[in-house]
């Protein structure tokens, strides 16, 4: 087959050019390969941010750079440990650890493959926890010794707090690319993924109130709001979805003032517990979260039972006098407080509701929420020596001993038995009534 003349002419010209510029063509080919490789290397950190939209998330609350919400901190960095869903510590920066000296010394082995966002390798010398009664001494780059003044078995949980270098540098999947402050409070925070091919940029906008965040959502300034106390009708606002969450790390609780003479009798407290009406939330039975490895369901259940409530209260002095109680609470729990007050009044104990702005110095009954620590150690809340944090003023020798033993025992199964006994005794004595796990909502615009 004979090619047309025009095709042969083009072929001959191309052949002559190839002979003449062979060196340039080879160099150009390899230069193109190199530039293509370089492009895909720098794309995630330099070019991609200009083509990726940020997810704009509204957060309600006043936060400084050093106390950002835990969920945000964990995107930027991690601690020596992190927490499993049941609250148990599992390896993070530390690949493992060992407790010695009866729980007064912990030896952490540091991973060798972690780097700060500035590219420097994370070593034991970088660990900067400032914990009272604890001395941290690195022995080389890969081993950290923690010397405690007293035995404290929950210590590995304590060091799950994410670690940072100045400038909020961490070693997590996101790095801080921008932050704006008003006074000492964070107003906006931009996070850029270390790997842009796996994650989307995030921008957090902080608001003082839910009302401000909701207005911003309606104006299109943010496309997600997290941890709302109610949907506020946003489920009907355009193309949105609503995610419902039960916060198992928080329990709405009735606290009784144990120094009030009307509430000193356990029968009164138990009777009031049975007099709490059914509430539209998931019931909490214990001071320890139901998701915890230490949770025990072997406790007294105070389901609504007005007959039992009247029976218990009828055997006390409060039933023979003109009984009256004041139930203090905060605005977000006002509806629940009024429902409880109406039920107690129907039992013959007239109950008024008082809305507070802060925890009152004195009260009779307080309806509030208590954050549940990931470890079952609740020494701060219920030990008789903890006058600042034991808000009920509760004193019980047996409870004190269980709390002391629980934070010194290293064996988890033995600790579980200790805290099962603690839960059973505390719930029965009823210095507080554990009501429910609150519900929050996340609203997302699509």
pLDDT digits (tens, 9 = 90+) for 96-155: 999 999 999 999 999 999 999 999 999 999 999 999 999 999 999 999 999 999 999 999
Overall average pLDDT of the 250-258 stretch = 98
Same-domain check for residues 301 and 410: yes
Q: Reduced to 3 states, what is the DSSP secondary structure of residue 373?
A: coil
Rounded CA separation 131/149 (Å): 11
Question: How does pLDDT run across 3-60, given as a tens digit for each residue?
Answer: 566 555 555 555 565 566 566 656 666 666 666 555 444 443 444 344 446 799 999 9
* Residue 18, token pair as written in the block: 């190839």
Phi, psi of 428 (to 5 degrees): -70, -40
Residue 322 lies in a domain: yes
pLDDT given for residue 47 in this prediction: 44
The residues, ordered by sequence, that sit 6+ positions from 181 with a Cβ below 8 Å of its Cβ are 65, 187
Same-domain check for residues 285 and 149: no
Q: What does pTM read for this prediction?
A: 0.84
When divided into structural domains, the chain yields a total of 2
**For the purposes of burial, counting CB atoms within 10 Å of the CB of 160, is it exposed (0-12), middle (13-18) or buried (19 or more)?**
buried
Give the residue from 63, 335, 51 showing the smallest Cα distance to 183.
63
CA atoms within 13 A on the CB side of 134: 20
Rounded CA separation 380/384 (Å): 9
Same-domain check for residues 120 and 268: no
Same-domain check for residues 275 and 401: yes
Q: How does DSSP classify residue 239?
A: S
Q: How does DSSP classify residue 408?
A: T
Same-domain check for residues 256 and 377: yes
* Residue 428, token pair as written in the block: 């029965």
The residues, ordered by sequence, that sit 6+ positions from 429 with a Cβ below 8 Å of its Cβ are 266, 269, 396, 399
What percentage of the chain has pLDDT greater than the value 70? 87
Partners of residue 444 on adjacent β-strands: 224, 241
Residue 89 lies in a domain: yes
Contacts for 223-226: CB closer than 8 Å, 24+ residues apart: 223/55, 223/56, 223/57, 223/444, 223/445, 224/55, 224/56, 224/57, 224/58, 224/442, 224/443, 224/444, 224/445, 225/57, 225/58, 225/60, 225/442, 225/443, 226/57, 226/58, 226/59, 226/440, 226/442
Residue 218 lies in a domain: no
- Judge whether residue 422 has pLDDT over 80: yes
Same-domain check for residues 420 and 283: yes
Task: Say which CATH number the domain at 83 has.
Answer: 3.90.76.10
Residue 192 lies in a domain: no
| Last-in-domain residue among 158, 186, 220 | 158
Residue 368 lies in a domain: yes
Same-domain check for residues 263 and 385: yes
Helix (H) or strand (E) holding 381: helix 379-382
DSSP letter for each residue of 289-316:
-TTSTT----S------HHHHHHHHTTS
Higher pLDDT, 30 or 232: 232
Same-domain check for residues 154 and 255: no
Same-domain check for residues 141 and 254: no
Same-domain check for residues 275 and 412: yes
Higher pLDDT, 162 or 36: 162
Task: Say which CATH number the domain at 380 has.
Answer: 3.10.105.10
Residue 425 lies in a domain: yes
Same-domain check for residues 290 and 150: no
| Last-in-domain residue among 123, 158, 193 | 158
Same-domain check for residues 138 and 259: no
Give the residue from 427, 414, 424, 381 showing the smallest Cα distance to 400.
381
Residue 98 lies in a domain: yes
Where in the sequence is the domain holding 154, given as residue range(s)?
A: 78-158
pLDDT class of 299 with cuts at 50, 70, 90: very high
Residue 361 lies in a domain: yes
Higher pLDDT, 76 or 37: 76
| Last-in-domain residue among 158, 193, 208 | 158
Overall average pLDDT of the 418-431 stretch = 98
Rounded CA separation 65/180 (Å): 10
Q: Where are the extended beta strands (E) located within 23-112?
A: 55-60, 81-83, 89-91, 94-100, 105-110
Overall average pLDDT of the 74-101 stretch = 97
């Amino acid at each position: 087959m004979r090619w047309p003349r025009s095709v042969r002419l083009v072929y001959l010209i191309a052949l002559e050019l190839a002979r003449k510029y062979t060196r340039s063509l080879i160099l150009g080919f390899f230069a193109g390969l190199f530039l293509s490789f370089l492009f895909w290397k720098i794309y995630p950190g330099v070019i991609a941010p200009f083509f990726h939209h940020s997810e704009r998330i509204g957060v309600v609350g006043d936060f400084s750079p050093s106390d950002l919400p835990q969920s945000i901190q964990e995107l930027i960095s991690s601690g020596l440990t992190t927490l499993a869903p049941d609250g148990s510590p599992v390896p993070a920066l530390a690949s493992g650890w060992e407790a010695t000296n009866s729980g007064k010394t912990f030896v952490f082995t540091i991973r060798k493959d972690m780097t700060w966002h500035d590219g420097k390798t994370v070593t034991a010398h970088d660990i900067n926890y400032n914990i009272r009664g604890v001395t941290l001494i690195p022995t080389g780059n890969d081993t950290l010794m923690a010397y405690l003044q007293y035995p404290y078995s929950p210590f590995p949980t304590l060091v799950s707090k994410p670690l940072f270098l100045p400038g909020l540098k961490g070693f997590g999947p996101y790095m801080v690319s921008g932050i704006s402050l008003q006074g000492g409070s964070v107003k906006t925070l931009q996070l850029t993924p270390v790997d842009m091919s796996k994650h989307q940029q995030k921008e957090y906008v902080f608001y003082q109130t839910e009302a401000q965040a909701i207005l911003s959502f309606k104006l299109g300034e943010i496309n997600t709001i997290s941890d709302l106390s109610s949907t506020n009708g946003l489920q009907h606002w355009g193309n949105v979805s609503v995610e419902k969450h039960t916060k198992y790390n928080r329990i709405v609780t009735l606290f009784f003032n144990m120094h009030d003479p009307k509430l000193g009798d356990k029968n009164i407290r138990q009777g009031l517990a049975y007099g709490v009406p059914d509430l539209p939330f998931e019931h909490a039975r214990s001071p320890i979260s139901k998701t915890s490895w230490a949770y025990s369901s072997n406790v007294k259940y105070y389901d609504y039972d007005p007959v039992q409530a009247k029976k218990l209260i009828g055997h006390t002095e409060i039933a023979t006098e003109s009984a009256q109680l004041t139930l203090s609470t905060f605005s977000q729990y006002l509806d629940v407080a009024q429902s409880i007050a109406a039920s107690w009044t129907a039992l013959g104990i007239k109950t008024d509701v008082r809305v507070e702005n802060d925890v009152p110095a004195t009260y009779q009954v307080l309806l509030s929420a208590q954050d549940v620590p990931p470890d079952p150690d609740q020494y701060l809340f219920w030990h008789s020596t903890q006058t600042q944090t034991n808000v009920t003023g509760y004193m019980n020798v047996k409870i004190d001993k269980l709390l002391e033993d629980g934070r010194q025992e290293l064996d988890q199964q033995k600790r579980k038995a200790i805290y099962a006994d603690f839960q059973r005794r505390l719930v029965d004595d009823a210095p507080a009534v554990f009501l429910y796990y609150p519900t929050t909502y996340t609203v997302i615009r699509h």
